[in-house]
Chain A
Amino acid sequence: MNDVKEKLVDLLAQFTRLSSIRLPDDVLRKLHELSGSETSERARFFYDAMLADLDMASSLMRPCCQDTGIIQYFVEAGSKSPYLDLLEDALRQAVVLATDRTPLRHNCVEVFDEKNTGDNTGTRIPWIDWQVIPDNQDLSIYIYLAGGGCSLPGASKVLMPLEGYEGVLRFVFDQVTSYGINACPPLLLGIGIAGSAEVAAKLSKKALLRPIGSANGNERGHALEVKIEEAVNAIGIGPGGTGGAKSLLGVHVEQAGRHPATLAVGLSTACWAHRRAHIIIHPDLSWEMPTHQGAQL
């Protein structure tokens, strides 16, 4: 079993390392598309630097952004995966290994002690979110490197239902124009709508894990995504926040049923260097990475 665990740790460490270096295919495609739509000198200043940086990061195998974030894993665990007992400890070990190998920045500061742990693990960190998939043998793991700049606009709030969707939109737009500008746009907006603050917040983060441009399961929900994207783009924040034609990678909304007396909204933002990756690990430890075609781990 030790040998198997070692292999699992190594695979997860390499997955974590790669996620800090190479952006997912859909984000890269979107950045090139957005870059092509900008003509102003100031917008070009930002996109030229961004695309040059990503090329250098890939060829030197270095983290494309120095803020490699607090490391978060979102696990969809098949109930019949042989690795359920090992996974939590394997993920912690993988973080330590990836921090040393890549290297990743030391980003875990213990609360109250106010000391950086120096290896990106600490109390409840890496953050691991679990969901069980019945009758399934695979581990499906998303990683998100939650940087400081793109986490700062994050917020959730419980509104009264009569504030309506107008209240939801006011909350989102105020956060984006006050804090989003400094969060390295073009941004991906994750919006959660639910009955309480923590559910809305969690759904807003899960919304960031969806492929760029994917649609909300509800027709009206998707219509709202499209309309919000058009409206935020029309504000003209642009790449880097100093003006431009487009400001967003996209808008993803996720929802849960709400209480009749509450309307909660959560917002999470991802920066242009949206370090999300997805790996599916089979029982024989063979794997695939839907977000990164041709990846070698």
Chain B
Amino acid sequence: MIKIRGLHKSFAANPVLRGVDLDILAGQTTTVIGGSGSGKSVLFKHIIGLMKPDAGSVLVDGVNMSALRERELYGVIARFGMVFQGGALFDSMTVGENVAFGVPGRAGMTAAAIQELIDHSLSQVGLSGISQLMPAELSGGMKKRVAIARAIAKRPAILMFDEPTTGLDPIMADVINDLIIKVSADPGITSVVITHNMASAYKISDKIAVLYAGRIIETGSAAEIRATTNGIVRQFIEGRATGPIPTG
């Protein structure tokens, strides 16, 4: 379980997170939605320990991420599988090398076992037979799927997705949604998705949290969020330009 309490973060004099409180339950898919500049990516980086908060804490199974020393942090972060917005595939490596990159105990594995793992992970995301290609040869959707294959190859306990459907056509976005549902189906996996795509949030989430102006202003199931009476949340989920959220 991930427990976020009173998380504050400012850059220069600009506060981005102003006291985020959120529980991410084990075995569930929790989606954080919010507009551009709401602090989603900053929250994401705090959860994985890439940023230190000005105040507050992120507890991952009781471990305070911001209190860890660098070496201890590398130990905890090994339990996470990350899918970055642009894929973040290592462009100097083949697809296969990318997928096998973070596999624990790889040094002790035979070449055949590593190849089997690569093939299995790529087949999970529907991309068999591309392990020799370079990332530059892939489309945007393929990059996202390879990034998911790379994340699941290390058998993580927590899967994190940063804007997984951004920049994809609606059909490919739905392919990614189905993949997230498939890889998160394992009850041992906790998934956290950051997105502003409501179709995606409704489809994949056990719980949706709405981040606005640096705070979580509402949480609930997809049905509860659809039925909300909060004006700010309604404007966001309906995608209206007019309402309480300033657009200038």
Asked if A and B are interacting partners, one says no
